[in-house]
Amino acid sequence: MGGADWLGRFRRVADLGLMVRRVPFCAVDSVLSSAFGNDRDIIREEVEKGFAQCWEIGQAAVITRREDSELVVVCMAGKGAVRAGEVIVQAAKKSGCKTIRFHTERPALGRLLAPLGAELREYVFQIRV
Protein backbone atom coordinates (compact mmCIF):
# COMPACT_ATOMS: atom_id res chain seq x y z
CA MET A 1 0.00 0.00 0.00
CA GLY A 2 1.61 3.25 -1.05
CA GLY A 3 0.68 6.86 -0.67
CA ALA A 4 -0.09 9.06 2.24
CA ASP A 5 -1.94 6.64 4.51
CA TRP A 6 0.44 3.68 4.58
CA LEU A 7 0.21 3.77 8.40
CA GLY A 8 -3.30 5.19 8.60
CA ARG A 9 -5.07 1.89 9.20
CA PHE A 10 -2.88 1.15 12.23
CA ARG A 11 -4.63 3.63 14.52
CA ARG A 12 -4.18 1.36 17.51
CA VAL A 13 -1.67 -1.43 17.64
CA ALA A 14 -3.33 -3.61 20.25
CA ASP A 15 -0.37 -5.69 21.35
CA LEU A 16 1.73 -2.56 21.91
CA GLY A 17 -1.07 -0.39 23.30
CA LEU A 18 0.00 2.70 21.37
CA MET A 19 -2.27 5.18 19.65
CA VAL A 20 -1.23 6.12 16.13
CA ARG A 21 -2.55 9.22 14.44
CA ARG A 22 -1.63 11.32 11.45
CA VAL A 23 -1.09 14.95 12.40
CA PRO A 24 -0.11 18.21 10.68
CA PHE A 25 3.50 19.40 10.64
CA CYS A 26 2.82 22.03 13.31
CA ALA A 27 1.90 19.24 15.77
CA VAL A 28 5.36 17.64 15.56
CA ASP A 29 7.51 20.69 14.80
CA SER A 30 8.66 21.40 18.35
CA VAL A 31 9.13 17.74 19.34
CA LEU A 32 11.25 17.07 16.24
CA SER A 33 13.23 20.33 16.29
CA SER A 34 16.39 18.60 17.53
CA ALA A 35 16.03 15.89 14.86
CA PHE A 36 15.64 18.21 11.87
CA GLY A 37 19.23 19.38 11.77
CA ASN A 38 19.43 21.97 9.01
CA ASP A 39 16.65 20.30 7.00
CA ARG A 40 13.53 21.63 8.77
CA ASP A 41 12.32 23.72 5.84
CA ILE A 42 12.96 20.94 3.32
CA ILE A 43 11.11 18.40 5.47
CA ARG A 44 8.20 20.80 6.07
CA GLU A 45 7.92 21.34 2.32
CA GLU A 46 7.88 17.57 1.68
CA VAL A 47 5.03 17.23 4.19
CA GLU A 48 3.09 20.17 2.73
CA LYS A 49 3.39 18.70 -0.77
CA GLY A 50 2.23 15.29 0.44
CA PHE A 51 5.54 13.48 -0.16
CA ALA A 52 5.99 12.86 3.58
CA GLN A 53 3.61 12.38 6.50
CA CYS A 54 3.67 13.35 10.17
CA TRP A 55 2.60 10.90 12.87
CA GLU A 56 2.19 10.70 16.61
CA ILE A 57 2.83 7.17 17.79
CA GLY A 58 2.24 7.10 21.51
CA GLN A 59 4.37 9.99 22.78
CA ALA A 60 6.79 9.90 19.85
CA ALA A 61 6.65 12.15 16.80
CA VAL A 62 7.65 10.70 13.43
CA ILE A 63 7.89 11.89 9.84
CA THR A 64 7.88 9.22 7.15
CA ARG A 65 7.78 8.90 3.40
CA ARG A 66 7.47 5.93 1.09
CA GLU A 67 9.98 5.24 -1.68
CA ASP A 68 8.79 2.27 -3.73
CA SER A 69 9.00 -0.73 -1.38
CA GLU A 70 11.03 1.13 1.24
CA LEU A 71 9.66 3.12 4.15
CA VAL A 72 11.88 6.07 5.04
CA VAL A 73 11.77 7.39 8.60
CA VAL A 74 12.92 10.93 7.97
CA CYS A 75 13.06 11.83 11.66
CA MET A 76 11.75 10.57 14.98
CA ALA A 77 11.90 11.89 18.54
CA GLY A 78 9.98 11.81 21.78
CA LYS A 79 9.28 9.38 24.58
CA GLY A 80 8.89 5.76 23.65
CA ALA A 81 10.76 5.97 20.36
CA VAL A 82 11.76 2.29 20.54
CA ARG A 83 8.14 1.18 21.01
CA ALA A 84 7.15 3.52 18.18
CA GLY A 85 9.83 1.79 16.09
CA GLU A 86 8.12 -1.53 16.78
CA VAL A 87 4.84 -0.09 15.48
CA ILE A 88 6.60 1.21 12.38
CA VAL A 89 8.13 -2.21 11.69
CA GLN A 90 4.75 -3.95 12.07
CA ALA A 91 2.96 -1.41 9.87
CA ALA A 92 5.67 -1.52 7.20
CA LYS A 93 5.47 -5.33 7.02
CA LYS A 94 1.69 -5.24 6.71
CA SER A 95 1.95 -2.53 4.04
CA GLY A 96 4.28 -4.58 1.86
CA CYS A 97 7.49 -2.68 2.51
CA LYS A 98 10.67 -4.67 2.00
CA THR A 99 12.93 -2.34 4.03
CA ILE A 100 12.85 0.59 6.42
CA ARG A 101 15.52 3.29 6.29
CA PHE A 102 16.15 5.62 9.23
CA HIS A 103 17.95 8.92 8.84
CA THR A 104 19.76 10.15 11.94
CA GLU A 105 22.70 12.15 13.19
CA ARG A 106 22.65 10.20 16.46
CA PRO A 107 24.74 7.01 16.59
CA ALA A 108 22.80 5.86 19.67
CA LEU A 109 19.79 5.18 17.45
CA GLY A 110 21.63 2.15 16.09
CA ARG A 111 21.88 0.65 19.58
CA LEU A 112 18.21 1.40 20.27
CA LEU A 113 17.04 -0.16 17.00
CA ALA A 114 19.38 -3.17 17.07
CA PRO A 115 16.72 -5.38 18.73
CA LEU A 116 14.48 -4.65 15.73
CA GLY A 117 17.18 -5.89 13.34
CA ALA A 118 18.66 -2.51 12.38
CA GLU A 119 22.02 -2.56 10.60
CA LEU A 120 24.26 0.37 9.69
CA ARG A 121 24.22 0.56 5.88
CA GLU A 122 26.06 3.75 5.06
CA TYR A 123 27.63 6.92 6.32
CA VAL A 124 26.64 10.24 4.80
CA PHE A 125 29.21 12.96 4.29
CA GLN A 126 28.38 16.55 3.57
CA ILE A 127 30.67 19.30 2.31
CA ARG A 128 29.44 22.84 2.70
CA VAL A 129 30.39 25.07 -0.21
Q: How far apart are CA 7 and CA 53, in angstroms?
A: 9
pTM above 0.85, yes or no: no
Banded model confidence at residue 8, pLDDT cuts 50, 70, 90: low
pLDDT above 70: percentage of residues in the chain: 81
Distance of CA 93 to the CA centre of its chain: 14
Q: Which residues contact 89 (CB under 8 A, 6 or more apart)?
A: 100, 116
Q: How far apart are CA 83 and CA 126, in angstroms?
A: 31
Each residue's pLDDT tens digit, 73-82: 998 888 887 7
Helix or strand (DSSP H, E) at 27: helix 25-28
What is the DSSP-derived secondary structure letter of residue 115? G
**123, amino acid identity:** Y
Nearest to 73 by CA among 82, 128, 17: 82
The sign of the torsion formed by the CA atoms of 74, 8, 45, 77 equals negative
Nearest to 88 by CA among 51, 118, 50: 118
